[in-house]
Structure 1
Amino acid sequence: MPEQPRGLVVAVDGPSGSGKSTVSREVARRLGLAYLDTGAMYRAVCWWCLETGVDLQDAEAVARAARALDLRMVPDPAAPRVLVAGREVSAALRESRISTAVSAVATNPAVRAELLRRQREILAEASAPGRPGVVAEGRDITTVVAPDADVRLLLTADEGARLARRARELHGSTDAEAVERTRDEVLRRDRDDSTVSTFHVAADGVVTVDSSGMDLHQTVAAVLQLVEDSAA
């Protein structure tokens, strides 16, 4: 019996507020693929450290916590979940206290190495022969986690669009006050994370999709077209 083909791997990078999570989930749902939010894995480590009293400035202690963490990602695009020690923490990971602290975890080289190992394991399992594949999104998926992905794209948007999207998500409004409350979180997080990964400029072979003037439907359609073109 001939060996079954491997599943499709779509790698999506982008800055905060670019829409990569929402777009990646919808693309995965449309294509019947698994969905992996790698950023949620860093948030899970951050959440666990805050819950258990690990000092985020103690890099080695945070690294030990990451290596020991009982973390399970449920890669269903219709209802992705994150479980830590069997506890559902998906909603808790989006709290402001996590958003403002997670860069200390995401810029820790030892934590990145541990989560890189886990991310590659998840992608390998989801795209094994006979499996449909996976859409993975984050900061360095196209360059570090899955540089050999079938489709690699950088999803970006101008600063105004990104701030408005995140303000709507966090505060339910895009008025000036909501946008200003969001500014530090979005721009500082990108600035901190850019010290360990590149997600503002596409690497060689990575296609840029600028969603500044596009709605969700149009952005998803653009990504689906890239997937279709890759298979031609």
Structure 2
Amino acid sequence: MIIAIDGPAGSGKSTIARMLARRLGFNYLDTGAMYRALTWKALQDGADLTDANALCQLMDQTAIEFRGKNDGMQIWVDGVNVTEKIRAPSVTNNVHYISNASSVRHRMVKLQQMFASGGNVIAEGRDMGTVVFPHADKKFFLDAEIEERARRRHDEMRLPDGEISYADVMKDIEIRDKRDTTRDNSPLRKSDDAIYLNTTKMSIEEVVARIFEELEPVVKKLDVYKE
């Protein structure tokens, strides 16, 4: 079974996907981490981020792996654990070069589909239900008002050695939203058969409960459902 969860930054999809994977015993596929991993590798190698051919060559020579399971999933690049490294601002600010390159996305999609061929998967990203898994068993599109998404991301990004301003986080999300929804390749959008959830006024537990209302009749057939 494949469950696809899409949505913009700060909509809660990563947290929700991890919780669902843990509760169901499914594998968790964080596709955004894959793009970040290649971005990290490109920055380490000093690659030209505007050269799609060079990026494709780099990806062909790079081993991107997920190790672990559910919320303990970690991502490795060429034998190096980069789970924390890929969240650095330098990666965040440059990942759009990778995600906008159609030839790179094509390779990433194949890799993501290969990952999902091994068993039950909760896949989250921005084109899961529209491009990567158009025939997913269930699709969800999580959203929230931009002010709430910025608040959530601001809370996540607070560092002990300095405050990241809410205004900066809001501006970053606005830029990312525009890039995600207007890019030529696999833009962020809700698939026609996805269930839309606005999580602005919902707690994480409420979102998970709502999704389980939709999933319960299906997952019980797999004998993996956990009360």
Question: In the alignment, which of 186, 208, 213 is matched to residue 173 of structure 2?
Answer: 186
Structural RMSD (CA): 1.8
Question: In the alignment, which of 102, 114, 130 is matched to residue 109 of structure 1?
Answer: 102
Change (3 A) 1:10 1:186: same
Question: In the alignment, which of 71, 80, 84 is matched to residue 87 of structure 1?
Answer: 80
Residue equivalent to 2:3: 10
Q: Offset of 1:202 from its aligned partner?
A: 2.1
1:84-163 map, 5 Å: 84-125=77-118, 127=119, 133-163=120-150
Change (3 A) 1:147 1:97: same
Residue equivalent to 1:57: 50
Q: Is the counterpart of residue 197 in structure 1 residue 190 in structure 2?
A: no
Amino acid at match of 1:81: Q
Change (3 A) 1:123 1:75: farther
Residue equivalent to 1:166: 153
Q: TM-score, normalised by structure 1?
A: 0.88
Deviation track 1:185-220 (CA, whole Å, cap 9, x = no partner) reads 222122112213343x42211110111100111111
Deviation track 1:30-80 (CA, whole Å, cap 9, x = no partner) reads 111110000000001100000011011112111211222111112511311
State how far apart, in whole Å, the 2-side matches of 1:14 and 1:57 are: 26
For the residue of structure 2 that corresponds to 1:44, the secondary structure is helix
**Are 2:130 and 2:190, in contact at CA under 8 Å, matched by a contact in 1?**
no
Residue equivalent to 1:227: 215
Q: TM-score, normalised by structure 2?
A: 0.90
User: Bigger CA drift: 150-159 or 190-199?
Assistant: 190-199
For the residue of structure 1 that corresponds to 2:75, the secondary structure is strand
Residue equivalent to 1:30: 23
Gaps in structure 2 of 5+ consecutive residues: 221-227
Amino acid at match of 1:152: K
Residue equivalent to 1:5: none
Residue equivalent to 2:204: 216
State how far apart, in whole Å, the 2-side matches of 1:86 and 1:103 are: 24
**Are 2:128 and 2:134, in contact at CA under 8 Å, matched by a contact in 1?**
yes
Residue equivalent to 2:224: none
**Identity, % of aligned positions:** 32
State how far apart, in whole Å, the 2-side matches of 1:75 and 1:136 are: 15
Change (3 A) 1:53 1:179: same
Gaps in structure 1 of 5+ consecutive residues: 1-7, 128-132
Q: Which 4+ residue blocks in structure 1 deviate beyond 3 angstroms?
A: 229-232
For the residue of structure 1 that corresponds to 2:66, the secondary structure is strand
